[in-house]
């Protein structure tokens, strides 16, 4: 539930809420979606990376302002 709230705070729209195991979102612009799957154990050493591509300096400024606040929540 915390992860879903985090992505909603970034402006994504939740389209599937099968919490706590699965959630799916649409991004604010374009046709992209993001799916989250919960697992009880990781298969091995791993890490998470999230990359954002910004279409303009204004979009970059938006995410630079929103991400720190969302991460602190």
Per-residue pLDDT tens digits for 60-72:
888 888 888 877 7
Mean predicted lDDT score pLDDT of the chain: 85
What value does the mean pLDDT take over residues 18-28? Answer: 90
**Strand pairing of 33-37 and 22-26?**
antiparallel
- Euclidean distance between CA atoms 7 and 24, whole angstroms: 10
Question: Is 73 a residue whose pLDDT tops 70?
Answer: no
The per-residue pLDDT for 34 is 87
pLDDT in tens, 40-51: 887 778 766 666
Instruction: Give the count of beta carbons closer than 10 Å to the beta carbon of residue 25.
Output: 21
Task: Please state, in angstroms and rounded to a whole number, the distance separating the CA atoms of residues 36 and 63.
Answer: 20
């Amino acid at each position: 539930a915390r992860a879903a709230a985090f992505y909603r705070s970034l402006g994504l729209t939740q389209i599937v809420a099968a919490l706590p195991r699965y959630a799916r979102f649409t991004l604010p612009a374009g046709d992209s979606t993001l799916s989250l799957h919960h697992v009880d154990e990781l298969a091995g050493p791993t890490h998470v990376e999230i990359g954002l591509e910004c279409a303009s300096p204004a979009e970059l400024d938006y995410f630079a302002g929103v991400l720190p606040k969302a991460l602190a929540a």
